[in-house]
Amino acid sequence: MKKIIIFLFLTFNAHILFPSVVFAKNSNKPIKRLVLDAIVISAERPKLNYQTGDVDTYQTPAFFSVIQRDMFEGKIKDLSEVIEKEVGLQVRQTGGLGSFSTVSLRGSSGDQVMVFWDGILLNDASGGGVDLNMISLSDVESIEIFRGITPLNFGNASIGGAVNIRTLRSHEGLKAIFQTGCGSFNTRKISGFINNKPGRGDYLISGDYLFSDNDFPFLNERGTEWNKEDDIWQKRNNAQIDQKNILCKLGFDFTNDVRGDLVHQWFSKNQGLPSWNNSQKTETSLNTGRNISTLKFTFDNIGPYNFNILTSLSHLLKEEEYDDRQGHIGLGKQHSKYITRRKEAHFYLDWLTKKNTLNFLFNVQHEEYKIKDFLKKSNPNNSVRDTFSLGLQDSLSLFNYSLIITPAFRYTFIQDEFKNALSTKSFPLEGLSKKRNYPSPQIGLKYSPHQWWTLKTNIARCTRVPSFFELFGDRGFFLGNEDLKTERGINFDVGVEINYPTSNEILKKILFKAAYFSS
């Protein structure tokens, strides 16, 4: 049963305006204009700034949608609530506000959809899909959803499509926002950010705090669905959520074409897990912490061919502590910590000519997955995964840019090393290494005979490597199979998009999208 939450909001906005420059509310770019004593000229919100490494939504043949910040700003929502209304998308959620949620695109599983945070892959080798509620909306500037094929800008070719979370970016001047809200089930949220860019240097700090008891009423069938006599309405026990998040960005424009950025994001969530019978005594919990650090340099218009280059180094550390020492969930008593550490180097280049846009990608990842079992003397499930990816894509424009053909090719090499893992038959896998090679070709076509309608079609070969969950089992829920093979698939889609503006004040435009897809 869905719960209904009523919220109250208090919002404070502070804008400091410099002489000769005024910022339109929610604007991304400064708008230079004349300012009189009693007159302020406003402007419509411009499109989000494009930076090297972003997907060029004009050229891409992929079926996509973009959710901008003004559609959810100032509301107590989580990411799953914001995106669940998108066409072809489903969110699978295990409980109330802030509970574990995964996304499905066009009928795929959560493991088959790749989720990126400013281009950094959040899916890890441990598996289980990405928890959408580990992404705080206070940091988000826009949400990009790609169905079917995955643009080359992202290192992997996904079977189920991709979701890219673009975080806030610094803009000229000083801006600060503070928001607070409260609601039913003792739900409360505080968030805010400050952005300052007085010259070449800039900084942005965003943070939020979310808490809810999640003690909403539900019909407890007590495990006997066929027997209605013992059904009873109860409040949800041990489902509370306590979540904190801080995003810090430092940037410096060395020249008009060279920029450096240092980014760090810290996230913490403490969550109670209800037992199957909604026991009041259970104290089962899952506490999650994540740190993402990125050093990025962007070089535009480099050399005689005017290359645009993005290079970055990133480090991700995720720790999950699962405490079920009472044995209310899963198979037996458990108290373990699961640690994922990934180091990544990323290189992206694009070259724009009159008729072509050539993109090149190089990506290297080293990922370690460790388990600490506090109830056992040995910890047998330590594993390592190394990933190496190359990609090349060309967007060819023909017939006065009305036809864009985009062939692309990826090559991915993956090596798994099982340091101390045990097989399903309990014999050691120490020293065992598995190597896999995956070529992933794709091609897309975008035809726009008129400005208001477009035809698109794509076909791509995709793969998904088994996760460590699937290989060895985990958390008392899964039995592993180390002999699992890689998922291989082909995605195909074809469709039309119509965006017809009218002169009618009530019906300003007609928007229609239809697609046939096969996977």
Give, for all 519 residues of the chain, the pLDDT tens digit. 444 443 343 434 443 333 333 333 344 444 333 333 333 333 333 344 688 999 988 899 999 999 998 888 877 678 888 898 888 899 988 777 878 889 999 989 888 999 999 999 999 888 778 888 888 888 899 999 999 889 999 888 889 999 999 999 988 889 998 988 888 889 999 999 999 999 899 999 999 999 999 888 888 887 777 888 888 898 888 889 999 999 999 999 999 999 999 999 999 999 998 887 887 778 899 999 999 999 999 999 998 889 999 999 999 999 999 999 888 886 678 898 989 999 999 999 999 998 999 999 999 999 998 888 888 766 666 789 999 999 999 999 999 889 999 999 999 999 988 765 555 556 666 667 888 899 999 999 999 998 889 999 999 999 998 888 787 766 555 677 778 888 999 999 999 999 898 888 888 889 899 999 998
Q: Quick one: tokens of 19?
A: 């002489």
The beta-strand segments (E) located in 184-256 are 187-197, 201-212, 217-220, 232-235, 241-253
Residue 91 lies in a domain: yes
Evaluate whether residue 7 is within a structural domain.
no
Structure token digits, residue 96: 């109330």
Q: Which burial class, exposed, middle or buried, applies to 516 when counting CB atoms under 10 A from its CB (0-12, 13-18, 19+)?
A: exposed
Nearest-CA neighbor of 369 among 357, 385, 353, 345? 385
CB 463, CB 157: distance < 8 Å = yes
Is residue 218 within 8 A of residue 96, CB to CB? The reply is no
- Nearest Cα to Cα of residue 61 among 173, 176, 147, 156: 147
Q: How far apart are CA 325 and CA 321, in angstroms?
A: 12
Asked if the structure places residue 1 within a domain, the reply is: no
> What's the rounded Cα separation, in Å, for the pair 261 and 310?
11
**Residue 461 token pair:** 């070969």
Query: For residues 165 and 122, what is the distance between their CA atoms, to the nearest angstrom?
Result: 10
- The answer as to whether 36 is a domain residue is no
Q: How many helices (H) and strands (E) does the chain have?
A: 2, 27
Distance CA 314, CA 338 (A): 20
Is 16 inside any structural domain? Answer: no
Instruction: Return the beta strands (E) in 55-155 as ranges.
Output: 63-68, 89-93, 101-105, 114-117, 120-121, 140-147
Q: State the pLDDT at residue 245.
A: 95
Q: Quick check: is 45 in a domain?
A: no
**Beta bridge partner(s), residue 261:** 251, 296
**Which residues partner with 252 through β-bridges?**
201, 260
E strand or H helix at 156: none
The CATH number given to whatever domain includes residue 224 is 2.40.170.20
* Boundaries of domain holding 472: 63-518
Q: What pLDDT, on the 0 to 100 scale, is given for residue 32?
A: 38
Amino acid at 422: L
Sign for the pseudo-dihedral over CA of 37, 39, 45, 49: negative
Task: Return the pLDDT at 155.
Answer: 80
Q: 18-56 burial, b if ≥16 CB within 10 A, otherwise e? A: eeeebbbeebbebeeeeeeeeeeeeeeeeebeeebbbbe
Q: Give the rounded distance of the alpha carbon of 202 from its chain centre.
A: 25
- 428 forms beta bridges with 422
Phi then psi for residue 70, to 5 deg, are -65, -10
Number of structural domains in the chain: 1
Q: Element (H or E) spanning 375, and its range? A: none
Q: Which helix (H) or strand (E) is 83 found in, with range?
A: helix 79-83
Q: Does residue 396 form part of some domain?
A: yes
In a domain, 96, yes or no: yes
